[in-house]
Copies of this chain bind each other. A is one copy, B any other.
């Protein structure tokens, strides 16, 4: 690119691509830290990450970038993806430039201390030892939110970081809409479950036969069968499963396997494969530009949950993979697809979010949404969080929380300052159901036949065209859904899906 022929958009693109390349490096470092790094390198890695973050911050707040954005904004004849690139570059610049470097440093240092204090408090089941630290983390988070978007409600700003275009008001509307009908479905399903009294097949309850090497081989096989491209990615093992790496050409899935929870590895892999195919499916025409990024955390979660729940928890999927299961895990030879379907769709009221099934999961999220909203607007004091948690769990799920370890100390999100993140999990689940409903009724009436025969290519291609390649073109999940399905997020599809599916499981 010579300086004379570069358009203002080209100049902005070059700056964005440079930042994208450095962010990709940060992604590789993050993956390496979780999967490969020797333990003694932790402090060194902290220094490396801080050095790279400082470089990225300088670039993200540079006068050069501001000027390039201004110049590109004046260009009259940009296409929609180009306009969205300029829009998102400006959004990113404004969010970054508002936060003083000193505050960023304070937040980074506090995060380490806060997470450490939380780990200790959780281990000792001692909320009082964490309370003051949480107060500080909350205060810094609020300060940053105010710096990013002065005059806006801090909680809306925080939500917007993870879920663009979303607000506490719209979330309240969504969650208020599902709470009662979901409770009715849950009660009906649990009653059916008790009445029926059917047990999970003993071969599917875990144990020594669930060799983890064989589980890993099976998972890798299934992952590729769904459409993950191993030429542009890897699958490894980590303590906390995630999908990371550095963009479409280098997507790295991690998962974990246990003999005690035999479906954690396989279902976790299917979930991460959904995330990974979103990343691999990003629009290569706009590679390195913000418009090619995944739209939001909710959009990302919609892809992982689409594959995990709509597909991976369907009876058809288990018919498709049954021969592989029998081959790799010979002790399951008497098990059929219905047994597997039943085993992976068990509903229970539980205390821990990450172990919850899809029927009870939304209540875990609604509770966190209500509490973090109150923490942020000051109507709940940090010291009263444990009791508020217990009251909320009783109200929403009807369970008694015996300890803070199994209560408000269970998640890393708040200790690490990620207020506003939780709703994305449920937005993803609801989006997945709406997408699947649309796919089945309007686009691919034989989708269940396809799943049953292990033919996932057209499903993946549809998601790629409609979601992955569209990236951040539209400024919110609601608008993306309207484009793809004809209406913004509508919770009825989620409720309908849960009702039909679990009536089937326990009928």
Contact = CB atoms under 8 A, between A and B. Distances in A.
Highest count of chain B CB atoms <10 Å: which of A37, A39, A54: A37
A24 interface: yes
B24 A44 contact: yes
Contacts of A52: 21-22, 25
Of A18, A43, A45, A249, most buried by chain B (CB within 10 Å of CB) is: A249
B55 A22 contact: yes
Contact of A250 (B45, B54, B232): B45
Nearest to A24: B48
A79 interface: no
Contacts of A51: 18, 21-22, 25
Interface string A210-231: 0000000000000000000111
Interface of A: 17-18, 21-22, 24-25, 28-29, 32, 36-41, 43-45, 47-48, 50-52, 54-55, 229-234, 246-247, 249-250, 288
A40, A50, A247 pick with most chain B CB within 10 angstroms? A40
Contacts of A44: 21, 24, 246-247, 249-250
B22 A249 contact: no
Contacts of A39: 231
A36 B36 CA distance: 10
A40 to B, nearest CB: 4
19 contacts: A18-B54, A21-B47, A22-B48, A22-B51, A22-B52, A22-B55, A25-B51, A28-B48, A36-B36, A36-B234, A38-B231, A38-B232, A38-B233, A40-B229, A41-B246, A44-B246, A44-B249, A45-B250, A55-B55
- Of the candidates A18, A54, A250, the one having the most CB atoms from chain B within 10 angstroms of its own CB is A250
A250 B55 contact: no
Contacts of A22: 48, 51-52, 55
A167 to B, nearest CB: 36
Contact of A230 (B32, B38, B48, B247): B38
A250 B25 contact: no
A377 to B, nearest CB: 36
Given A32-B28, A55-B55, A231 B40 contact: yes
Nearest to A232: B40
B29 A25 contact: yes
A486 B230 CA distance: 56
A232 B21 contact: no
Given A21-B44, A41-B246, A48-B246, 20 more contacts: A18-B54, A21-B50, A21-B51, A22-B48, A22-B51, A24-B44, A24-B48, A25-B48, A25-B52, A32-B32, A37-B250, A38-B230, A38-B231, A38-B232, A39-B231, A40-B231, A41-B250, A43-B249, A44-B246, A44-B249
Contacts of A231: 38-40
Contacts of A41: 232, 246, 249-250
A234 B40 CA distance: 11
A410 B41 CA distance: 37
A416 to B, nearest CB: 22
Nearest to A248: B44
Nearest to A42: B249
Nearest to A58: B55
A32 B30 CA distance: 12
B25 A25 contact: yes
A48 B21 contact: yes
A51 to B, nearest CB: 4
A221 B247 CA distance: 37
A460 to B, nearest CB: 17
Contacts of A24: 44, 47-48
A41 B230 CA distance: 11
Contacts of A18: 51, 54
A272 to B, nearest CB: 15
Residue of A38, A230, A288 contacting most chain B CB atoms (<10 Å): A38
A14 to B, nearest CB: 11
A47 B22 CA distance: 9
Contacts of A38: 230-234, 249-250
Nearest to A250: B41
Nearest to A41: B250
A285 to B, nearest CB: 15
Select the residue from A44, A54, A231 with max chain B CB neighbours within 10 A.
A44
A41 B245 CA distance: 10
A39 B232 CA distance: 7
